[in-house]
Amino acid sequence: MLLIGAAAGLLVAMSLMIARAIMGPSHYDRILAANSFGTKTVLLLAIIGFVFGRPAFLDIALVYALINFVTTIALMKFFRYRSLAAPLTTHTPKEGGNG
């Protein structure tokens, strides 16, 4: 019964994250909502795996968590630099130095 309540609470939180992702005033709010939705999905997969006695669901949840993390970092980098390439830095050699 407690696990059903936890799953219901996660579904309510996930619906709030979808609303924030749609209505978010900035790109960063939308990315944060998508990341939170992904985290809640990982928790829901873990609960479902526990309820049905399927330990493979935990492996799926871990892979999904890694994909969620990498995607969030890539999106934040893209919106900050407008490219996924490494940011350009200017290197000026020191005067009178050997390198």
Residues in contact with 78: Cβ distance below 8 Å, sequence separation at least 6, in sequence order? 84
Q: What is the pLDDT of residue 2?
A: 87
Rounded Cα distance between 75 and 70, Å, is: 9
Could you tell me if residue 86 is left (phi over 0), alpha (psi between -120 and 50 degrees) or otherwise beta?
beta
What pLDDT score does 57 carry? Answer: 92
The answer to whether the pTM exceeds 0.85 is no
The pLDDT tens digits of the residues spanning 14-38 come to 999 999 999 988 888 999 999 999 9
What is each CA distance from 5 to 48, 55, 99, in whole angstroms? 12, 21, 64
Neighbour count for residue 42 (Cβ, 10 Å):
20
Q: pLDDT at position 90, please?
A: 64
